[in-house]
Homo-oligomer: A and B are copies of this chain.
Amino acid sequence: MKQINVGLLGFGTVGSGVYRILNQHEEELKQRANATIKIKKILVNDIEKKRAVEVDQHVFTQSVDEVIADPDIDVVIEVMGGISEARDYILSALRHQKHVVTANKDLLALYSGELLTTAAENQCDLYYEASVAGGIPIIRSLVGGLASDRITKMMGIVNGTTNYILTRMTKEGADYQSVLEDAQALGFAESDPTGDVEGLDAARKMVILSTLGFSMKFELDHVTTEGISQITAQDIDYAKRLGYTIKLLGIAQHDACGVEISVQPSLLPNDHPLSSVNNEYNAVYIYGEAIGETMFYGPGAGQLPTATAVVSDLISVIQNKHMGVNGQGVVLPHNPTRLKSDKEIYSKYFLRFQLKDEAGAFSKVTALLGKYQMSIEKLIQHPLEQQQGVAEIVMTTHRTNRQAVNDVLSELQSLDVVYDVLSGYRIEGE
């Protein structure tokens, strides 16, 4: 039986998960891969460090060349994270004719074009299932099962931390700040949570999904990104009263005008399947022209789910190797990129603001809405307890464009009858 030698770059959570799966499922993997899999070298910063997993000391190395330049190593698994070094190492590994499996979404979101081109030039595989929604085989599905359909829209809950926070805020009626602190204490949020809570992590994943789904090149700054730190318990409560759940939603849409990619807090009807994706779970909801609506649900992160995705990719590389077809599956974007302007992006909206209790106040608001052809679908008005003479207004609009909403929100702020403008969220899934 053939032996496949693997080199690991990094031995943190995911790396040691890969090691554990390769050991624990050794027999089954041997059958599936029709090969024995051996981890020959592992690049680490500190060879002496105590580790939870027991590994032969001489497998560790501090020299990257012992991994990526070793002629005996067939596949390099990059699980070190970070961008600059990881990029150099992967490019160098590919140029040394190593197949590469990576879980690095930050890197993929920025350099997938360069990495995939280099892989193709060197007849090497480059797989990255673990980079988006770890436990969900979504990349594979976009490349394979949905390949004969035209994907028109993807909606994703693709960040576990923000979904955990929003789920708890929704279930407990709690405030953002207190849930965030609790999530940090429990290890569901990092001590610097910015990348998660401001939507950047989700934006990276949406770039990767959109590139594959629409076969176009996208950059991170093509994504309009808004996080969850401004969401209040009141927003969630009003949404509930109107039959909606608030989620941080990545949206990628493609129509005749072009493509929109965005990440923002959005309201979904309570009976939409994405509304019951709770806690740290992820899901991607896909609209295909022929297939209609499908959803992929699963753990978005975690040691074993992510490591499982990495090992599945590894098995694919080995199967390709048996068949002598490595590098032939690399798909480069083949459509020209065309982004929509804010005026071309339509949806319904949820607006919330505070209005002075004066004669003619509401008609000034409706005049402003009229100016932008925006019309009201539902409305809740009630007097503010803590502020005499001020009423809170919550409304949902009919479909309108993003430019109009931005203009209305900023003009509302400068109307003399408006006390405060609180929120403007998109409504999706209706």
Contacts and interface: CB of A to CB of B under 8 A. Distances in A.
Interface string A279-292: 00001000011111
Nearest to A20: B290
A315 B147 contact: yes
A150 B297 contact: no
A63 interface: no
A218 B405 CA distance: 58
Q: Chain A at the B interface: mostly helix, strand, loop or mixed?
A: mixed
A425 interface: no
Interface stretch (A21-29, A248-256, A339-347, A375-383): A21-29
Contacts of A149: 25, 308, 312
B148 A21 contact: yes
A3 interface: no
Contacts of A325: 323-325
Interface in A258-296: 271, 273, 275-278, 283, 288-296
A213 interface: no
A293 B288 contact: no
A179 B302 CA distance: 44
Nearest to A285: B297
Contacts of A297: 273, 294-297
Interface string A309-339: 1011011100100111100110000100000
A146 interface: yes
Interface of A: 17, 21, 25, 28-29, 31-32, 129, 135-137, 140-141, 144-150, 271, 273, 275-278, 283, 288-299, 302, 304-305, 307-309, 311-312, 314-316, 319, 322-325, 328-329, 334
19 contacts: A141-B141, A141-B145, A147-B312, A147-B315, A271-B278, A273-B276, A273-B297, A291-B298, A291-B305, A291-B308, A291-B309, A292-B304, A292-B305, A294-B296, A294-B299, A295-B295, A295-B296, A296-B297, A325-B325
Given A21-B290, A292-B298, 11 more contacts: A25-B148, A140-B140, A140-B144, A145-B309, A148-B308, A273-B276, A273-B297, A291-B305, A291-B309, A323-B325, A324-B325
